[in-house]
Amino acid sequence: MNNKNPDCSIILNRASNELNGELTPGLIHEVNNLLTGIYFNLESCHESCSADPSAAEALSDITQGVERIKEVLNRTVHIHLNVAEREKTYHDLATLVESQLDLVRIIFPKTAKITLIPPVEALHVELAEHPFRTVILTIASRLREIFPAGKVEAVFEIFSPSQLEALVPAADLNGGGNLVAVSLCVPCAMESVSEVDEYLLRSTTGDLTFANAENLTASLGGRLVLHRDTAKKSSRIMLLFPQIDLNE
């Protein structure tokens, strides 16, 4: 990717650095909550004897809390440092998206509901995980400004080629066939990347823009498109990628 798209490589590195800054406050908050839980579990252990089953349960909670801290910290470090994730490989799309949602939840308020509706069947794509993650988190960090305060319900959906063709006009797909999509519906009616960035101009800083997310998506062999539903006053943001048949 770096040789063919040097500009996208620069965008990727800058956006990754900025996303680390975006994630830090939420990460600190989450780690603090986990440590508080560990503290109270430790107090419980001190008051229990080793033969008491409740003490064993408290110790189990401590272990799970520590593992969760390690997982979140490792995921955040890997957003920038894991070189292996910059190489293209095959992915189950639902598994790939689900693995990014822990970081998406850090970007949004703690009360936000972040969910994924997986496809009925397994859908596979070939791409590099690191830039894909950067695209997802860039979109999430910008859309945080669009959702009403205290009412964030971000539902990611994955569409098969047949579902996509039924949902989106053929003109919006530019005649592309056998495409799969990662979709997110947002409560504003916009139909272009430039329109989103213009709307978010006051809060858009550095390299976390929809235009850069669009460029990174293109470097992965995909496309970022917006499909506006005027009646519902909403837009569907979609990342389109060619489906890979692993049986071929």
CB 244 within 8 A of CB 200: no
In a domain, 124, yes or no: yes
Between strands 153-159 and 113-117, the pairing is parallel
Residue 153 structure tokens: 């319900």
pLDDT band at 106 (very low <50, low <70, confident <90, very high): confident
In a domain, 134, yes or no: yes
Instruction: Looking at mean pLDDT, say which of 16-25, 80-89, 96-105 comes out highest.
Output: 96-105
Q: What is the pTM of this model?
A: 0.70
- Please list, residue by residue across 125-135, b when 16 or more beta carbons sit within 10 angstroms of its beta carbon and e when fewer do: bebbbbbbbbb
Instruction: Looking at mean pLDDT, say which of 19-28, 60-69, 80-89, 237-246 comes out highest.
Output: 237-246
Instruction: Looking at mean pLDDT, say which of 163-167, 168-172, 189-193 comes out highest.
Output: 163-167
Query: Are 42 and 102 in the same domain?
Result: no
Number of domains in the chain: 2
* pLDDT above 70 for 113: yes
> Distance between alpha carbon 89 and the CA centroid of its chain, in Å?
18
* pLDDT above 90 for 160: yes
Query: Are 151 and 228 in the same domain?
Result: yes
pLDDT tens string 186-218: 877 776 777 776 766 655 556 678 888 888 899
In a domain, 64, yes or no: yes
* pLDDT above 70 for 156: yes
Query: Are 147 and 232 in the same domain?
Result: yes
Secondary structure class of 72 (helix, strand, coil): helix
Radius of gyration of the chain (CA): 20
Bigger pLDDT: 87 or 90? 90
Which residue range(s) make up the domain with 47?
Answer: 6-81
Instruction: Kindly report the backbone phi and psi dihedral angles of residue 120, in degrees, each rounded to the nearest multiple of 5, phi listed first.
Output: -65, -40
pLDDT of residue 74: 60
* pLDDT above 70 for 244: yes
**Percent of the chain topping pLDDT 70:** 62
Lowest-confidence segment of 2-6, 48-52, 174-178, 218-222 by average pLDDT: 2-6
Average pLDDT, rounded, for the chain: 76
* CA dist., res. 192 & res. 197, Å (int): 9
Query: Are 133 and 183 in the same domain?
Result: yes
* Strand (E) or helix (H) holding 55: helix 53-81
Given 37, 61, 81, the domain boundary residue is: 81
